[in-house]
Amino acid sequence: MSLDGQCAASGSETAVIVATFPMRAGVVFDWHTHPDHQLAWAASGVLTVRTESATWVLPPTRALWIPAGLRHETLSAGVATMRSLYVRPGLCPIDWTAPTPVTASPLLAEFISYLGNPDLDPARRSRAEAVLIDLLEPVTMTTIELRTPIDDRALAVAEGLAAVPADPATLAQWGRRVGASERTLARAFMAETGMGFGKWRTMLRLQAALAELAVGEPVSIVARHVGYESASAFVAAFRRETGITPAVYFRAQSAPAT
């Protein structure tokens, strides 16, 4: 699916446009950009936003500021409702140049709904837009950065693991599947992703786990879904890469940004 054209109304002096997108499980808004800044928020369910170098998993308590022109894709593993704010760069004092998570407080949610009213008169809309901008408070949010290899054979391995993170095949076994030697694949992963295959697969599995953790799936079930034989092994890998355990991951995100 594509979100192209959703900012067509931004030719007016309105600084913020609100759009609502009901999303069935598995819906993907493929890679795209916007001429306006975007604030992506899950009014219900969980959203995943990917850029070329990082992934954010967003429960309803978090939203993500996406700078104008940044290539990204948005998806939902389960049923979700995305409410997106499109903000005209020339009418907004925020100048964040990188994706920035913010707290989606109940007050912010109310202002988003208020600004979604198409009959709001210009004076009230202007005042509400100013308050909404004041409510955007950055928060620290752990992300798992993961680049995708370019080499066709390594890319086939990456796509296979993305589809089935629990696949236990070794790199040599993957090589037989895609028609490349283990050494060739190892070199491609290191050169094109900046990490060895084992590390890359670990990071992919942790990324895959985030959406399930966000909706409250038990760690023991998530661990099996992404290829770990035990919850303790999964927790150890999660702590090693993020510095915290799955049990405190989303709670820890409430800490203020520094």
Q: Report pLDDT digits (tens) over 92-104.
A: 889 899 999 998 9
* Structural domain that includes position 119: 8-135
215 pLDDT more than 80: no
Give me the half-sphere count of Cα atoms (radius 13 Å) on the Cβ side of residue 110: 5
Domain boundary among 135, 166, 185: 135
**CATH no. for residue 90?**
2.60.120.280
In this prediction, residues 164-174 reach a mean pLDDT of 96
Number of folded domains that form the chain: 2
Task: For tokens 């296979």, name the residue.
Answer: 160
Average pLDDT over residues 175-184: 97
Task: Provide the strand spans (E) within the chain.
Answer: 16-23, 28-32, 37-44, 47-50, 55-58, 62-66, 72-75, 80-87, 100-103
Tell me: pLDDT of 142 over 90.
Answer: no
In Å, how far are 32, 189, 200, 250 from 210, measured between CA atoms? Answer: 23, 23, 16, 10
Confidence class for position 251, pLDDT limits 50, 70, 90 = low
Residue ending a domain, choose from 84, 101, 135: 135
128 and 156 inside one domain = no
Residues 6+ apart with CB under 8 A from 81: 20, 21, 22, 23, 42, 43, 44, 45
Final residue of a structural domain among 69, 101, 135: 135
Q: 165 and 199 share a domain?
A: yes
Q: How many angstroms separate the CA atoms of 135 and 108, rounded?
A: 6
12 shares its domain with 129: yes
The CATH number covering residue 235 comes to 1.10.10.60
Q: What's residue 71's pLDDT?
A: 96
**Same domain for 14 and 91?**
yes
| Distance in angstroms (rounded) separating the CA atoms of residues 234 and 210 | 12
| Same-domain check for residues 37 and 97 | yes
Tens digits of residue pLDDT in 11-69: 347 889 999 999 998 899 999 999 999 999 999 988 999 888 788 888 888 899 999 99
Q: Is residue 145 part of a domain?
A: no
163 & 222 share domain: yes
Considering the domain architecture, whether residues 168 and 119 belong to the same structural domain is answered as: no
Say if residue 91 is in the same domain as residue 55. Answer: yes
Does residue 90 share a domain with residue 57?
yes
142 is a domain residue: no
Same domain for 109 and 14: yes
**Which amino acid is residue 47, in one-letter code?**
L
45 closest CA partner among 16, 22, 18: 22
Quick check: is 1 in a domain?
A: no
Reported as a single tens digit per residue, the pLDDT across 61-117 is 889 999 999 999 999 878 899 999 999 998 888 989 999 999 899 999 999 999 999
Instruction: Report d(CA 216, CA 239) in Å as an integer.
Output: 18
- Does the residue 92 lie in any domain? yes
